[in-house]
């Protein structure tokens, strides 16, 4: 690959549809840094159970967010990987919102989540471009 000779790092972020053992292995074999959403399961929830107690008092308009990172090995994986959990408590909601991200980035958990969340606008631009091209093909 040409990027290896340039000395540049490649970063990859994706949603849970791409989180398969083959994708993880390929990214790691090619020294590509990644942050991918993971499908939740009972073992992941066990790791964050201590953060699932609703905060005391009335929540402010700004959500309370807690981060927790740990190592986890799924049954289909050859080795354990870093997982970052984000637990958000929103005003007016009874239950928390929980998300899990698999990553090989060494940054703090909050920074990895911020990096992962930047994929949202990219997908919007792609949808807009596809829609625009679709309109052009009808003319």
CATH number of the domain bearing residue 44: 3.90.350.10
Distance of CA 19 to the CA centre of its chain: 10
Predicted local confidence at residue 138, as pLDDT: 42
Determine, yes or no, domain membership for 133.
Answer: yes
Predicted local confidence at residue 124, as pLDDT: 64
**Helix axes of 109-117 and 119-138: crossing angle, nearest 10 degrees:** 10
Determine, yes or no, domain membership for 111.
Answer: yes
C-beta pairs of 5-10 under 8 Å, 24+ apart in sequence: 9/33
Tally of structural domains, the chain: 1
DSSP string, 37-64: EE---HHHHHHTGGG-SPPSS---SSPE
Task: Give the whole-angstrom CA distance, residue 19 versus residue 4.
Answer: 24
Determine, yes or no, domain membership for 129.
Answer: yes
Predicted local confidence at residue 110, as pLDDT: 94
Predicted local confidence at residue 139, as pLDDT: 41
Mean pLDDT, consecutive 10-residue segments, the chain of 139 residues? 71 89 92 93 94 82 92 92 95 90 94 87 62 51
Determine, yes or no, domain membership for 101.
Answer: yes
Full domain range(s) for residue 63: 10-138
Determine, yes or no, domain membership for 29.
Answer: yes
Determine, yes or no, domain membership for 2.
Answer: no
According to the 3-state scheme, what is the secondary structure of 94-126? CCCEEEEEEECCCCCHHHHHHHHHCHHHHHHHH
Tokens of 100: 């899990």
């Amino acid at each position: 690959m040409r990027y290896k000779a340039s000395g540049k790092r490649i970063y990859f972020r994706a949603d849970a549809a791409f989180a398969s053992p083959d994708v993880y292995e390929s990214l790691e074999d090619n020294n590509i840094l990644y942050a991918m959403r993971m499908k939740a399961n009972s073992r992941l929830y066990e790791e964050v159970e201590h953060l699932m107690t609703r905060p005391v008092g009335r929540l402010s308009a700004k959500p309370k967010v807690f981060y927790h990172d740990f190592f986890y090995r799924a049954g289909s994986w050859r080795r354990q990987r870093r997982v970052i959990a984000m637990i958000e408590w929103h005003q007016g909601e009874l239950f928390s919102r929980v998300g899990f991200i698999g990553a090989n980035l060494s940054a703090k958990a909050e920074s990895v989540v911020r990096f992962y969340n930047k994929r949202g606008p990219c997908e919007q631009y792609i949808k807009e471009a596809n829609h625009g091209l679709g309109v052009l093909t009808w003319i």
